[in-house]
Amino acid sequence: MRKKIVAGNWKMNNALGQSIQLAEEITEQLASINNEAVVVLIPSFIALASIEKIISGQKNIFLGAQNVYPKMNGAYTGEISTEMLKSVDVKYVLVGHSERRDLFYESAEFLKEKIEALLQADLTPIFCCGESLTIRQEQKQEDFVRIQLEKSLLHLSAKQILNCVIAYEPIWAIGSGLNASAEQAQQMHQFIRETISEKYDQVTANSISILYGGSCKPDNAKSIFSQPDVDGGLIGGASLKAKDFISIIQSI
C-alpha cells in the first residue's frame, strides 16, 4: 500500500526563530490528532538542524530539503550535498520544482543527476513535474509531463523508482488565481501512473506515491485527496500557517 504524504515546502520564507516556532506548533498539533499520513517539513537550509531536534522521535514526521547539488563536495559555492543533508537527518529532497526549473534554469539532465545522487545516498527524491498555462491551453499537458518524466526519472530501475515520490504541479494553478479541479488533478495523476505502468508494470505504478502541488488549501484539500490516484500534497503557502497545514493533513 502506497504512502499518504503531506509535505510542506516553506520556500524562502521564515527566519530561524519563525521556522522553529512553526515547527513546534505543527509538531504539537500533530500529536493531538489521529492521522497516519507521513508529514514532511521542508524549511530553508538554516533551519534544518534546529527543526531536526524538534521533530526527532516524533511519529510519521520527517525533515525535507528544498535542494541538493549532485556532487559529494568541492568548490561549489552556495550549494549543499547529500552528505550534509544526511548529517541533520534529512529524509526527503525536492527535485525539479517549477521555481528551480524556471528561475534557475535547471535542466532535465541536471535533475537526473540529482536524483541519482539522492538515491545513492539513500535519500528520497520528491520529483516535481507539471505544465504551464500555455501548455494546458494547447492541450499538450500529457505529452509535456511525459517528457519530463522520461528525461529525468524513467531511466531508473524498477527498484530505484520505488524509492521516489512524484509531485504534480500544475504551474498555471500556483499563485495565479486559477484553480485546478479535483477532476483535473485526478486525470493527470492517473496519466502519470499509467506512464509508469507502461515503463515498468502495474504493481510498480500502484506502489508510488503521487502528490498534488497546485494551490492546495484547507477548503479544497479534501476533494483533491479523495481522488483515487492522489496520495497527498506538496503544500506551499498554506504550510506556513500551522492551523491550515494541520487542516490539510486531516483531509487526507
Active site residues: 97, 169
- Hey, what's the cell of 26? 505543527
b/e map 195-210, b = 16+ CB within 10 Å: bbeebbeeebbebbbb
Cβ atoms of 203 and 130 within 8 Å: the answer is: no
| Helix residue ranges, H only, the chain | 16-30, 48-55, 82-86, 98-104, 108-120, 133-137, 141-152, 158-161, 182-199, 202-207, 221-225, 242-250
Cα dist from 106 to 33, 38, 124, 225, whole Å: 39, 28, 19, 30
Cα dist from 163 to 117, 158, 201, whole Å: 13, 9, 15
Q: In which residue are the cell numbers 506556513 written? A: 240
Q: Residues 6 or more apart from 190 whose CB is under 8 A from it?
A: 228, 229
Distance between CA atoms of 49 and 87, rounded to whole angstroms?
9
